[in-house]
Amino acid sequence: MAISLAQSTLFSKTSLFLRSSCNGLNRLTFCVPFSSGSSLSTKKKWKPPVASVLELGGVKIAKGDVVRDDPTNNVPDIIFAKLGMQLHRRKQHPIGILKNAIFEYFDANYPNKFDTFDDLCPIVSVKQNFDDVLVPADHVSRSFNDTYYIDSQTVLRCHTSAHQAELLRGGHTHFLVTGDVYRRDSIDSTHYPVFHQMEGVCVFSPEDWEASGVDGTDYAAQDLKKCLEGLARHLFGAVEMRWIDTYFPFTNPSYELEIYFQDKWLEVLGCGVTEQEILKRSGKLDNVAWAFGLGLERLAMVLFDIPDIRLFWSTDERFTSQFSQGQLGVKFKPFSKYPPCYKDMSFWISESFTENNLCEVVRGVAGDLVEEVSLIDNFTNKKGMTSQCYRIAYRSMERSLTDEEINDLQWQVRDQVQNKLNVVLR
């Protein structure tokens, strides 16, 4: 289960948790989920997307497969533009460097044991994304406010766990899955609507634990902690660690691993013993398993001293030239620090207003020129009308913004907020 710590959570705290045999850059790969699309309790039958060509630097995905004239579609152009870029497959990029460092740990400590996948298509069915990992039908993560829907039965995956059930049913018992994931989210230096996760799954048979003197659940939990403590030392060195009991709907028991790094406790990942129902549905009635998940951006920002999550998407050579294949933990040297420009916007909200929708509008206008959107004032008058004031920080990571272009952005934001969000500007 992909339990990511990189972004705002799919669940109350940490959220849900790939090296592929497909390494050739010139061969065809099919950008389809593993599932052929089980029927769901909705009217339209889910259809997989068309084939795509794997290219250097990313995967081509047709716009019509993502941005559609469908009443449930909420994928904006700015998100479509990120699809297929696959930062985790770039060997000289911080995300790719970190991914490969984790692969190296598993290769060294579990030789030829874990299958690795990092090119699975991010377009998946609702069943894959939610039902297969036991996300409750009424959970907030299923809402259009939190998830990018292509149509009523198809989404951009919120977590790499969307591929877990099919991998288990396909006979894989030890695997790592890495990929880009998508969530409608707030705007600040540590949150971005596209980020990258890695999950690991390990399945045990009765003969694995029967001689140990403990039951399968305890055996899996002990093995999980040993594996992940070793991974933490591989990435961070000889650090102090602690385990925190927590809750996830897809593992029981569930844990978070924290390390004491740079004079503070840092959450590294979430993990646990897989719920038996998930294994049962995958035909593994007598097995137990563990799963872990981590957010690559969160760890890369710490290991490389990267202060703003937007930088991972920069093509500026002053950023990209600082990192080399295999060089884990090279400290980023800021090449500029341009001043932010703040613009405030107040409006009377409606019942349908959400902050995520506001951030989508602002991001759709300003893209990566918006650094943060924060609520600075909120009050309700005697008539029961609620007013909110948001402060928008505009700042480029690569150049100074002019007053003219900032003012133009702000007027566009105001116009679209009023037209799309059913609010009354003040």
Give per-residue pLDDT as tens, 102-128. 999 999 999 999 999 999 999 999 999
Give the per-residue pLDDT at 238.
92
Q: Each residue of 10-52: pLDDT tens digit? A: 333 334 443 333 333 333 333 433 332 333 334 445 544 433 3
Angle between helix 94-109 and 216-236 (nearest 10):
130
pLDDT at 84 (0 to 100): 85
Is the pLDDT at 54 greater than 60, yes or no? no
pLDDT mean across residues, the chain: 87
Q: Please give the span between the terminal C-alpha atoms of the chain, in angstroms, as a whole number.
A: 45
- Residue 9's pLDDT band (boundaries 50, 70, 90)? very low
CA dist., res. 104 & res. 101, Å (int): 5
Distance from the Cα of residue 251 to its chain's centroid? 19
Average pLDDT over residues 355-380: 96
How far apart are the C-alpha atoms of 299 and 415, rounded to whole Å? Answer: 38
The predicted structure's pLDDT at residue 336: 81
**Predicted confidence band of residue 60 (pLDDT cuts 50, 70, 90):** confident
Placement of tokens 């872990």 in the chain: 292
Predicted local distance difference test score (pLDDT) of residue 55 = 42
- Over 70: is that where the pLDDT of 145 sits? yes
Edge to edge, what strands does the sheet with 370-380 contain?
Answer: 370-380, 386-394, 341-348, 424-425
pLDDT of residue 51: 33
Mean pLDDT within 258-282: 93
Confidence at residue 58, expressed as pLDDT on a 0 to 100 scale: 61
Contacting residues for 81 by C-beta, under 8 A, at least 6 apart: none
Residue 11: predicted pLDDT: 38
Convert the pLDDT of each residue in 202-250 to its tens digit. Answer: 999 999 999 899 999 999 999 999 999 999 999 999 999 999 999 988 9
- Residue 280: its pLDDT value, please? 94
Span 266-283, mean pLDDT?
94
Mean pLDDT of 362-371: 96
**At 349, is the secondary structure helix, strand, or coil?**
coil
Hey, which of 35-39, 59-63, 401-405 has the most confident mean pLDDT?
401-405
* E strand residue ranges, 148-250: 149-151, 154-156, 174-182, 194-204, 240-248
